[in-house]
Amino acid sequence: MSLSVGIVGLPNVGKSTLFNALTGAQNAEAANYPFCTIEPNKAAVPMPDDRLAVLAALVSPEKIVRAGVDFTDIAGLVRGASKGEGLGNRFLGAVRECSAVLEVVRCFDDDNISHVNGNTDPVRDVETVETELLLADLQSVENRLEKAGRAAKGDKSALVLCGRLESLRGHLNEGRPAAGFVAPPDDALRRTLQELGLLTAKKIIYCANIDEKAAGAPEAAPYARALREHAAATGRECVTVCAKIEEELQGLPEVEQTEILNAYGIRESALAQVVRCCFDSLGLANFFTAGPKEVRAWTIRAGSRAPQAAGIIHGDFERGFIRAEVIAYEDYVRLGSEAAARAAGLLRVEGRDYAVKDGDVMHFLFNV
């Protein structure tokens, strides 16, 4: 699996600038007018993880393969988007396929960049965007309910599904996100919700986009502080970046990028912040395979069992799973090789019930 992130927000908040900064793609137009982004911008980038380089230095593989992150940037949402205002609602389908939503919020003043609502107010802007996401979900549920209602005549299971969807519709109508909807276990409902990809059921992470003046001390920036307080009150995660600075770094050698970030007092790149926050929010983890051909990172749900992790590599590995050989990353690095870990008794043989941990270096044995 790969981490997929949909980028949403009002127009002129720096979404496309951030997309360019995160992906290095430079293909998303960023300009000072609403709806500059027309079609969704998509890019896949390698996930930053310093542990891969450390393992590669020990193993000397032919190549290093990082886990991937997919980003999708859509047109800005405005009040009334769910009813066809603006362009953003037209492309929300692209975000429904993503595992997390990164909501970019303008946290700076700039007379040269127009604000669609006239002035900067992060909490108001968040509420505008999330209202439109909720209304879009409500429309999706109503459409599916209408379809289920037609199928319910003479079909008891379809009738039960209709009841569940009516409860969900009532929940959304109260202004509550789909993530808070609790229903009895129901396979038909689970499949339906998976198909719908409701936006408010996804993990939403706020991204406070600050200017260069605040980059060195983001905790003191008043707009960003207001957004962080709102995030804490609503149980959301929040990262703070200066998209403009990070976009200007693209194309420079990594050493120069690090030097410039350090000069601004920025300790972690926007990509690293976003990935770390998404991983934590979604409960993801990376395990590694290491050998002479490649050192590679694989993304799984934290706590996945060994056969499921094997299946990420290849379906045959899961179907024919026998056992896994596991070395903790810290032990591998401390001892310097698989052979040394084996000799020290720190290579473990694990079976089907083993819950894979972030950083495990694994080798799977299978037979089909």
Taking only the tens place, the pLDDT of each residue in 45-61 is 999 999 999 999 999 99
Q: What is the crossing angle of helices 122-151 and 156-173, to 10°?
A: 160
How does pLDDT run across 66-122, given as a tens digit for each residue?
999 999 998 778 766 555 544 545 677 888 889 999 999 999 988 888 787 788 999
Kindly report the pTM of this predicted structure.
0.86
β-pairing verdict for 284-290 and 321-327 = unpaired
pLDDT of 306 reads 97
**Which candidate, 147, 38, 45, places its Cα nearest to that of 90?**
38
Predicted local confidence at residue 35, as pLDDT: 44
pLDDT band at residue 220 using 50, 70 and 90 as cut-offs? confident
Share of the chain above pLDDT 90, in %: 62
**Residue 72: how many CA atoms within 13 Å on its side-chain side?**
19
pLDDT over 70, % of the chain: 92
- The rounded distance, in Å, linking the Cα atoms of 169 and 196 is 13
Look at residues 116, 103, 76 and name the one whose alpha carbon lies nearest to residue 241. 103
CA distance 216 to 234: 26
Average pLDDT over residues 317-321: 96
Q: How far apart are CA 143 and CA 2, in angstroms?
A: 30
Q: In 47-81, at which residue ranges do the beta strands (DSSP E only) sit?
A: 63-65, 68-73
Quote the mean pLDDT of the chain.
89
Residue 76's φ and ψ, nearest 5 degrees, are -65, 140
Indicate if the pLDDT at residue 33 is higher than 60: no
159 vs 237, more confident: 237
Comparing C-alpha atoms, which of 156, 133, 252 is closest to residue 203?
A: 133
Residue 173 to residue 296: CA distance in whole angstroms: 46
